[in-house]
Structure 1
Amino acid sequence: MISQKAKYALRALTALAQADSTRPLLISEIAVQQGIPKKFLEQILLELKRNAVVESRRGKLGGYLLQRPASEITFGEVLRLIDGPVAPLPCLSVTAYRRCEDCDGEHQCEIRHVFARVADATREVLFNTTIADALDGVDPLKRAELQHA
């Protein structure tokens, strides 16, 4: 499961992606449009800014914009930034590998073998689906299959 914070981050990014790319959106606009508590959204946008996903502009015409095109921001990237490792078990994490405390050996672990397939499939979808894909209702994996057929 993803956290509420990650859901809000993805919703904020979709709002920014749908907006006029030349006009920054105010936090209050995004909060009202997406039903996100304003204070929580401020924290989320600051974290996304620190990680070069969004940028902010000050002043009367200030607000937030995507720093990169929506077609270059993946769900996986956002989830990893907000929630941390994208893995069901610590021994399957790409960025924060940790041996399970009760591990007798990863090579014989039936649980790890099953969840490795789950993790691979999940990462395949999350790191190949962009904010733009979601807005367009596109399944990038099916599109890729059709292109290779």
Structure 2
Amino acid sequence: MRITSQEEYGLRILLRIAKFRDKEGMTIQSLAVAEGLSLPYVAKLTRLLRIEGYINSTPGNKGGYILARPADQININQVLKILGGSLFEQSFCNDYSGILKFCTNSVDCSIRSLWQMVQINIDQLLDKVSLADLIGNEMRSDEILNSIIEQKAGS
């Protein structure tokens, strides 16, 4: 299992915008410099985040990008899904059928059960994490995420 560059950088850009306090927002150039990314890649990611309603562009010569809604209303699971999709989707079995039209295990597949269970657990955890939970330093985020995990284990 791997996190794609689009998921990582898209989330980092969104977090960078969330931390920025200027009402004009961050420009593509300032985001590219801050994250060490190319201008075209940042433009692609900001466009996707804007289309999906997570950020808005501010008009004018000094315009940039700002959050479209408060950080505590931005769900990390939803953001990651628009940036890269789920780890396991129902089309998964069709994508890995080998040279045949249908997977030889399409009727009774214990591996599919494993991937579904992993996806359910990832979704349950990430559904409880907002962008606001990630604002701040690593120690603070670690404490918040650990409390979320403890709550999940207790329920």
Q: TM-score range by the shorter chain?
A: 0.7 to 0.9
TM-score (norm 1): 0.80
Contact 1:2 1:79 in 2 (8 A): no
Q: Answer whether contact 2:75 2:130 (CA < 8 A) is retained.
A: yes
Given that 1:56 and 1:64 are in contact with CA atoms closer than 8 Å, whether structure 2 keeps it comes out as yes
Residue 38 of structure 1 and its aligned partner are, at CA, apart by 1.3
Once residues 74 and 134 of structure 1 are traced to their aligned partners in structure 2, the CA distance between those partners, rounded to angstroms, is 11
Report the counterpart of residue 30 of structure 2 in structure 1. Answer: 29
1:27 counterpart letter in structure 2: I
Counterpart residue number, 2:46:
45
1:104 deviates by 4.1
2:59 corresponds to 1:58: yes
Question: What's the counterpart of residue 20 of structure 1?
Answer: 21
- Return the offset for 1:144: 3.9
Corresponding residue for residue 124 of structure 1: 124
Computed over aligned residues only, the root mean square deviation of the Cα atoms, in angstroms, reads 2.4
Where does residue 69 of structure 2 map in the other structure? 68
CA spacing shift, 1:17–1:127, aligned 2, 3 Å: same
How far did residue 145 of structure 1 move?
5.1
Letter in 2 for 1:39: P
CA distance in 2, matches of 1:143, 1:59: 46
Q: Is the 8 A contact 1:25 1:62 kept in 2?
A: yes
Q: What's the % identity of the aligned pairs?
A: 22
1:40 match: secondary structure: helix
Change (3 A) 1:117 1:21: farther
Gaps of 5+ in 2: 95-101
Segments of 5+ residues of structure 1 without an aligned counterpart are 92-96
Tell me if structure 1 keeps the 8 A contact 2:77–2:123: yes
* Aligned residue pair count: 140
Residue identity matched to 1:124:
Q
Question: Is 2:7–2:80's contact at 8 Å kept on the other side of the alignment?
Answer: yes
- CA offsets 1:85-139 (integer angstroms, 9 cap, x no match): x133x43xxxxx5654305445x32111222211111111222212211224021
Report the secondary structure of 1:142's partner residue: helix
